[in-house]
Amino acid sequence: MVAWILALTAVVTAIWSAVRTDRAMRESHHAAARAELAERQFKAAEARTLALTEEIRQLAQKRIPAAATALSHRSAPVPGLREAAGIEGDAARLLTEAVQAARTAVLEERGRVDAAARSAMRGTSAKIQSLLNQSQHLLHELQHEYDDPRILQLDFRNELALRRTQATAVLCDAWPGLARQNSSLVEIVLGAQSRVAGYERIKVANHLRQERLALVARAAEPLAIALAELLANATAYSHPDTEVPVTVQQTPGRGAMILVDDAGIGMDEDALKRARTLLSGPSEVLLTELGDPPQTGFAVVGRLIARYGFSCHIESSPYGGMRAMLRIPAHLLTVIDDDRTLSVLAPKPVHARVPVAEDPEPVTTPAPAGLLGPPAGADPAGDPGPAVPAEPAPRAEEAATAEDGEQRPAGLPSRRRRSRRAASPDAPSSPRRPVEEEPAPRTPEQAGAAWSSLQEGTLSGRSAPAVPGPAAVASPSASSSDDQGDDEK
Tens of pLDDT, residues 152-202: 899 999 999 999 998 988 888 888 877 788 889 999 999 999 999 888 999
What residues form DSSP beta bridges with 183? Answer: 215
Q: Is the separation of the CB atoms in 462 and 449 below 8 Å?
A: no
**What per-residue confidence (pLDDT) applies to 88?**
67
Q: Is the dihedral of CA 441, 445, 447, 453 positive or negative?
A: negative
Q: Is the dihedral of CA 395, 399, 400, 402 positive or negative?
A: positive
What residues form DSSP beta bridges with 328? Answer: 256
**What per-residue confidence (pLDDT) applies to 131?**
92
Condensed to tens digits (0 to 9), the pLDDT of residues 340-356 reads 888 778 788 876 444 44
DSSP 194-210: TTSTTGGGEEEEEE-SS
SS3 274: helix
CA distance 250 to 330: 10
- In this structure, the strands spanning 333-335 and 322-328 are unpaired
CA distance 328 to 340: 22
State the DSSP code for 292. Answer: T
Query: At 323, phi and psi to the nearest 5?
Result: -120, 130
What residues form DSSP beta bridges with 414? Answer: 406
CA distance 128 to 177: 11
Beta strands in 321-373 (DSSP E): 322-328, 333-335
Taking residue 220's Cβ as centre, other Cβ atoms within 10 Å add up to 23
CA distance 472 to 271: 56
Please list the ranges in the chain whose pLDDT falls under 50. 352-438, 459-489
Closest CA to 231 of 221, 241, 243, 219: 243
Would you call 400 exposed, middle or buried from its count of C-beta atoms within 10 A (0-12, 13-18, 19+)? exposed
**What per-residue confidence (pLDDT) applies to 446?**
65
- 169 sits in which H/E element: helix 149-171
CA distance 321 to 80: 40
Q: Is the separation of the CB atoms in 485 and 454 below 8 Å?
A: yes
CA distances from 176 to 216, 283, 295, 309, 456 (A): 15, 18, 19, 15, 20
- In this structure, the strands spanning 244-250 and 256-261 are antiparallel
**What per-residue confidence (pLDDT) applies to 190?**
92
CA distance 53 to 48: 8
- Cα dihedral 137/143/148/151 (nearest 10): 10
CA distance 452 to 461: 9
Q: Is the separation of the CB atoms in 297 and 233 below 8 Å?
A: yes
- Cα dihedral 71/72/74/75 (nearest 10): -120
Longest CA–CA separation in the chain, Å: 198
**What per-residue confidence (pLDDT) applies to 45?**
80
Taking residue 302's Cβ as centre, other Cβ atoms within 10 Å add up to 23
